[in-house]
């Protein structure tokens, strides 16, 4: 094929696209591309199947994909330059024009099968290469190198400086968590490894990490020394060691310096956004930073919330432009609001949290701590989980190693009824902070995935052998799956004797007594606890009124039911549907039917299921109870019951065990609906061995 010549006008001739396609076809370039694409695709599939069985690393498969794509242009150049004939491989120029003539006239390009095959395979390989390149630059979440930053030892002569070591540890951990190429284990997971005699290999195995950063802090007056070392947790090999001597007033950017050096030593890459976040603004006043570290250490260790707020108030008085302090104070105030003594205190805390969030984001619009705080505010204060999820996901896009943001996103998705997505985020949270495994086990139980729930509870029993709740919760999950309660009460009583002050025993007792049908025991429990101790939506007056009625004692039930029916309720309550539907049940049991129906209808209007997939169905099923028992709209109630039973948190055996539904045991249609929703086959659960 001769090179195009310059014509008389001095311009190169216009290339005819059809002649180019014909030439490509004549040289069998399309056929070569199709063959190459097919073989490359086969190689990728074989590698995907075989490599994991030989324990090869994840990047090896991506390397095969990249090599296959990079080899495509080489194959096309060879196909253009050479032709495979009966006499062997020959350069195209040697074939002469006779071969071209022998091939006949070219068919239209759209009728060339190999062209379409080559195009399809090329698109597929290009997409695979693009994904592979992205994962080479930024690995998938589970493939990132795992790093645990163990609590720093406090070597200061004054033990009062322990907060400084804890706060600096928290700051460095948070800075490293900004590196998207790493999987940094959360603070809650490493707190139990404070023992100076710790075995690093065992810690690395327990936390599923390959790298460990440990250090010590010594503060004497205004002098500060931070010593850190990076260790290969699999071999105990020291990879990097550094000692930083600073004046306390010069320590404001120490977390940034350490984080950048660790990331550099690991060879991880930082995006401009990640680098900017690691270099986020610290306070300009050393005393403000000191107070912030104290508050941060208290927050991380579950300290008194009012003391955390006081320390942050002092921080911001000294440095009103410290965005991180505003974000932390907002989170603190949101949690304080949930335990506020009265409505005025709750309103003050909520308004303060909102103002703190706005101020933090005005100072740093992409601060992930502030975005996460706003997500919590929308979910738990303004009761708008959809907006809350937007903020939490945005925070995670900036700080993908934040276990609490993953966990909060999981809880928010669960509230929105997106349970599979919720489990995905909870699993990511658990990989960073194993304590989130409790929420995974609970979610699987309430979602009626009993086999998986049983495995999750067994894993928690092994991980936390001294905690009684996983063992007792496993009995609850077994009851929901099979109706079996054997051994539950005995195990509960044993745990109660061994751990009388355990905070989780109240709700464990509540579940055991309800599922075993012990009405007298329920009455004794409700009379012995204070409001809020059980951490359930039902007020004690409601529980006592309904259980006394189910036990056949309406006279003792009446004062409790009257108190519930006359209790103040408002559409502005945090969960307004509950107040109205509890009143509806009480009014129905008191014989005030018309009022009961109005209250029940108002309850579902105020607590719609599409806004809250957890609390909405619980309100709706009590409304169904009112409709059925009243008889006025029983058909509507039966239809609602059939729709709701078996949904998240409303397993048939749990519904049947509730005292309201015990009152309808003689209603054959109700009992048939519940029986029809029972699992069709019993899950294969391993036996619970007695302690």
* Model confidence at 32: pLDDT above 90: no
Q: Would you place residue 154 in the very low, low, confident or very high pLDDT band (cuts 50, 70, 90)?
A: confident
pLDDT in tens, 469-505: 898 999 999 999 999 999 999 999 998 888 776 666 7
Q: Superfamily for 293-489?
A: Tetratricopeptide repeat domain (1.25.40.10)
Q: What percent of the chain has pLDDT over 70?
A: 75
pLDDT in tens, 361-388: 999 888 888 999 999 999 988 889 999 9
The pair phi, psi for residue 199, each rounded to 5°, is: -95, 110
Task: Sort 507 into a burial class: Cβ within 10 Å, 0-12 / 13-18 / 19+.
Answer: middle
Assess if CATH 3.40.50.10610 describes domain 142-279. yes
- Where is pLDDT greater, at 668 or 12? 668
Average pLDDT score over residue span 337-343:
74
Average pLDDT score over residue span 333-362:
87
* pLDDT at residue 168, rounded to an integer: 76
- In this predicted structure, which of 146-150, 273-277, 627-631 has the lowest mean pLDDT? 273-277
- Where is pLDDT greater, at 342 or 126? 342
pLDDT in tens, 156-177: 877 767 777 777 777 777 777 7
* pLDDT at residue 142, rounded to an integer: 45
The reply to whether domains 142-279 and 293-489 share a CATH topology is: no
* Model confidence at 276: pLDDT above 60: yes
- Where is pLDDT greater, at 148 or 456? 456
* pLDDT at residue 358, rounded to an integer: 96
* pLDDT at residue 517, rounded to an integer: 95
Task: Sort 196 into a burial class: Cβ within 10 Å, 0-12 / 13-18 / 19+.
Answer: exposed
Fold of 537-676: 1.25.40
* Model confidence at 441: pLDDT above 90: yes
Q: Would you place residue 674 in the very low, low, confident or very high pLDDT band (cuts 50, 70, 90)?
A: very high
Run of H or E residues at 425: helix 419-432
**What average pLDDT is seen over the chain?**
80
* Per-residue DSSP letter, 303: -
Residue whose structure tokens are 């809350």: 388
* pLDDT at residue 139, rounded to an integer: 44
- In this predicted structure, which of 50-54, 115-119, 370-374, 535-539 has the lowest mean pLDDT? 115-119
Q: What percent of the chain has pLDDT over 90?
A: 39
Contact criterion met (CB below 8 Å) for 234 and 199: no
CA angle 646, 651, 653 (to 5 degrees): 130
pLDDT in tens, 398-413: 888 888 889 999 999 9
* Model confidence at 99: pLDDT above 90: no
Q: Would you place residue 1 in the very low, low, confident or very high pLDDT band (cuts 50, 70, 90)?
A: very low
* Model confidence at 542: pLDDT above 70: yes
Nearest alpha carbon to residue 375 among 356, 351, 360, 395: 395
Cα separation of 411 and 388, whole Å? Answer: 11
Q: Would you place residue 198 in the very low, low, confident or very high pLDDT band (cuts 50, 70, 90)?
A: low
Q: Which two tokens stand for residue 43?
A: 């190689």
- Where is pLDDT greater, at 564 or 8? 564
pLDDT in tens, 60-94: 666 777 777 777 776 666 666 666 555 555 555 54
Q: Which two tokens stand for residue 299?
A: 């927050």
Average pLDDT score over residue span 209-235:
84
Q: Would you place residue 197 in the very low, low, confident or very high pLDDT band (cuts 50, 70, 90)?
A: low
Helical pair 419-432 and 403-415, crossing angle rounded to 10 deg: 160
Q: Would you place residue 98 in the very low, low, confident or very high pLDDT band (cuts 50, 70, 90)?
A: very low
* pLDDT at residue 104, rounded to an integer: 46
* pLDDT at residue 473, rounded to an integer: 92
Tell me the domain boundaries of the chain: 17-137, 142-279, 293-489, 537-676
* pLDDT at residue 43, rounded to an integer: 77
Average pLDDT score over residue span 521-540:
90
CA angle 153, 158, 162 (to 5 degrees): 40
Cα separation of 170 and 308, whole Å? Answer: 15
* pLDDT at residue 394, rounded to an integer: 93
* pLDDT at residue 95, rounded to an integer: 47
* pLDDT at residue 225, rounded to an integer: 86
Cα separation of 324 and 289, whole Å? Answer: 11
Average pLDDT score over residue span 266-287:
67
Average pLDDT score over residue span 33-58:
67
Helical pair 368-380 and 385-398, crossing angle rounded to 10 deg: 160
Cα separation of 206 and 213, whole Å? Answer: 15
Overall size of the chain counted in residues: 691
Q: Would you place residue 298 in the very low, low, confident or very high pLDDT band (cuts 50, 70, 90)?
A: confident
- Where is pLDDT greater, at 374 or 109? 374
Average pLDDT score over residue span 271-283:
66
* pLDDT at residue 60, rounded to an integer: 65
Distance, CA of 399 to chain centre? 13
């Amino acid at each position: 094929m001769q090179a195009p010549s310059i014509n008389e006008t001095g311009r190169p001739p216009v290339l005819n696209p059809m002649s180019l396609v014909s030439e490509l076809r004549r040289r069998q370039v399309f056929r070569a591309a199709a063959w190459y694409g097919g073989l490359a695709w086969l190689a990728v599939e074989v590698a995907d199947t075989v490599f994991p069985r030989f324990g090869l690393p994840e990047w090896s498969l991506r390397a095969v994909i990249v090599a296959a794509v990079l080899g495509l242009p080489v194959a096309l150049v060879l196909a253009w330059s050479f032709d495979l004939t009966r006499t062997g491989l020959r350069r195209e120029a040697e074939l002469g024009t006779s071969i071209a003539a022998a091939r006949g006239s070219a068919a239209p390009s759209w009728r060339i099968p190999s062209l379409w095959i080559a195009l399809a395979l090329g698109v597929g390989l290009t997409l695979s290469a693009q994904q592979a390149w992205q994962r080479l630059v930024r690995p998938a979440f589970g493939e990132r190198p795992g790093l645990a930053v163990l609590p720093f030892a406090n070597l200061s002569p004054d033990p009062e400086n322990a907060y400084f070591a804890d706060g600096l540890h928290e700051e460095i951990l948070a800075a490293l968590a900004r590196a998207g190429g790493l999987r940094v284990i959360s603070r809650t997971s490493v707190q139990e490894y404070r023992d100076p005699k710790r075995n690093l290999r065992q810690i690395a195995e327990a936390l599923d990490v390959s790298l460990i950063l440990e250090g010590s802090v010594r503060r004497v007056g205004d002098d500060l020394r931070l010593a850190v070392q990076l260790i290969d947790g699999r071999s105990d090999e020291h990879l990097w060691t550094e000692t930083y001597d600073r004046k306390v007033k010069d320590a404001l950017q120490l977390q940034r310096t350490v984080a950048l050096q660790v990331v550099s030593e690991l060879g991880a890459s930082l995006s401009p956004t990640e680098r900017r976040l690691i270099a986020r603004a610290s306070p300009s006043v050393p005393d403000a930073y000191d107070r912030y570290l104290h508050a941060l250490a208290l927050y991380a260790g579950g300290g008194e919330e009012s003391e955390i707020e006081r320390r942050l108030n002092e921080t911001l008085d000294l440095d009103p432009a410290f965005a991180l302090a505003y974000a932390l104070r907002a989170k603190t105030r949101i949690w304080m609001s949930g335990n506020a003594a009265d409505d005025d205190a709750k309103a003050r805390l909520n308004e303060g949290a909102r103002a703190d969030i706005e101020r933090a984001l005005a100072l740093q619009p992409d601060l992930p701590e502030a975005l996460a705080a706003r997500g919590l505010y929308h979910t738990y204060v303004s009761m708008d989980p959809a907006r809350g999820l937007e903020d939490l996901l945005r925070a995670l896009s900036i700080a993908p190693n934040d276990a609490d943001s993953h966990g909060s996103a999981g809880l928010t998705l669960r509230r929105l009824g997106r349970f599979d997505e919720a489990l995905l985020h909870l699993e990511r949270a658990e990989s960073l902070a194993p304590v989130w495994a409790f929420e995974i086990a609970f979610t699987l139980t309430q979602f009626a995935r009993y086999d998986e729930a049983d495995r999750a509870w067994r894993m928690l029993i092994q991980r936390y052998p001294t905690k009684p709740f996983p063992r007792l919760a496993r009995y609850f999950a077994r009851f929901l799956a099979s109706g079996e309660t054997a051994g539950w009460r005995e195990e509960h009583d044993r745990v109660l004797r061994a751990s009388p002050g355990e905070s989780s025993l109240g709700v464990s007792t509540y579940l055991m007594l309800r599922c075993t049908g012990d009405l007298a025991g329920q009455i004794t429990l409700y009379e012995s606890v204070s409001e809020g101790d059980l951490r359930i939506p039902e007020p004690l007056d409601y529980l006592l009124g309904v259980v006394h009625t189910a036990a056949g004692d309406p006279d003792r039930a009446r004062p409790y039911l009257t108190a519930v029916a006359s209790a103040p309720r408002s559409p502005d309550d945090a969960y307004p549907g509950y107040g109205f539907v509890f009143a509806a049940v009480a009014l129905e049991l008191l014989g005030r039917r018309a009022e009961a129906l109005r209250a029940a209808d108002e309850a579902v209007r105020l607590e719609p299921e599409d806004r809250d997939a957890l609390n909405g169905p619980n309100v709706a099923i009590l409304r169904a109870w009112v409709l059925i028992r009243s008889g006025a709209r029983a058909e509507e109630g039966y239809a609602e019951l059939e729709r709701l039973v078996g949904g998240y948190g409303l397993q048939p055996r749990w519904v049947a065990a509730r005292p309201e539904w015990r009152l309808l045991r003689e209603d054959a249609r109700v009992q048939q609906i519940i029986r029809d929703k029972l699992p069709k086959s019993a899950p294969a659960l391993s036996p619970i061995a007695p302690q």
